[in-house]
Chains A and B, each alone.
Chain A
Amino acid sequence: EDQVTQSPEALRLQEGESSSLNCSYTVSGLRGLFWYRQDPGKGPEFLFTLYSAGEEKEKERLKATLTKKESFLHITAPKPEDSATYLCAVRKNTGNQFYFGTGTSLTVIP
């Protein structure tokens, strides 16, 4: 069964305390893996696309990496404004659907 699982469900960090969020997937034939940030009451905001194992993308304090089974979103020295829910999604080689995980709710405490 095609599935995307994110962990942990919730994460509380002190400002400056680096950590990683995990997205594991079981799909047959990955076309792309996508990371989004969602603030309360708003739509998801696109962050990164990763296509193949070994690929890495960076943006400010965020770095996304991809293996054959999972992706990590590394947050370096987070700030309170990084507090949000981070979603990952995958698209298969076949079909048109995107499969979303339930997200990791990140809280960064000043």
Chain B
Amino acid sequence: NAGVMQNPRHLVRRRGQEARLRCSPMKGHSHVYWYRQLPEEGLKFMVYLQKENIIDESGMPKERFSAEFPKEGPSILRIQQVVRGDSAAYFCASSSGTRSFEQYFGPGTRLTVT
């Protein structure tokens, strides 16, 4: 009965490199949300995806950031040409998409840009 899985748990990238964060939702869930959490700040919504579709990306920066949730495999949040300001904890949450909208979070990926 695995919960939401994220990997890697910790990721270190130099400025200008690419970061790829993966999220496998709970079994039976087909909705994924990505959030960014900075120290002393709340979780900020980035993007909401269903299988093969981006439903709402209004919280995601227009440049360098992209997300996908393919038919097979995990959801991926991709950050190109990382900058120091991208250092944060990135969480994904999954939902069954039913009326309840309850979200279940993964353990997060802590990205450090050096």
Interface residues of A (CB under 8 A from B): 4, 31-32, 34, 36, 42-46, 49, 87, 89, 91, 95-103
Contacts and interface: CB of A to CB of B under 8 A. Distances in A.
Interface in B58-114: 58-59, 91, 93, 100-108
Given A32-B101, A49-B100, A96-B55, A43 B4 contact: yes
Nearest to A31: B101
A100 B43 contact: yes
Contacts of A4: 42
Nearest to A95: B56
| Interface of chain A: mostly helix, strand, loop or mixed | strand
A46 B101 contact: no
A99 B107 contact: no
Contact of B105 (A43, A97, A101): A43
A87 B44 CA distance: 12
Interface residues of B, number: 26
A36 B42 CA distance: 12
A42 B40 contact: no
Contacts of B108: 42-43
A36 B104 CA distance: 10
Contacts of A91: 101
Contact of B42 (A31, A42, A43, A87): A87
A98 B45 contact: yes
A96 B53 CA distance: 14
A49 B102 contact: yes
Nearest to B91: A43
Given A87-B42, A101-B42, A102-B41, A44 B105 contact: yes
Nearest to A43: B105
B42 A103 contact: yes
Contact of B45 (A49, A99, A101): A99
Nearest to B40: A102
B26 to A, nearest CB: 11
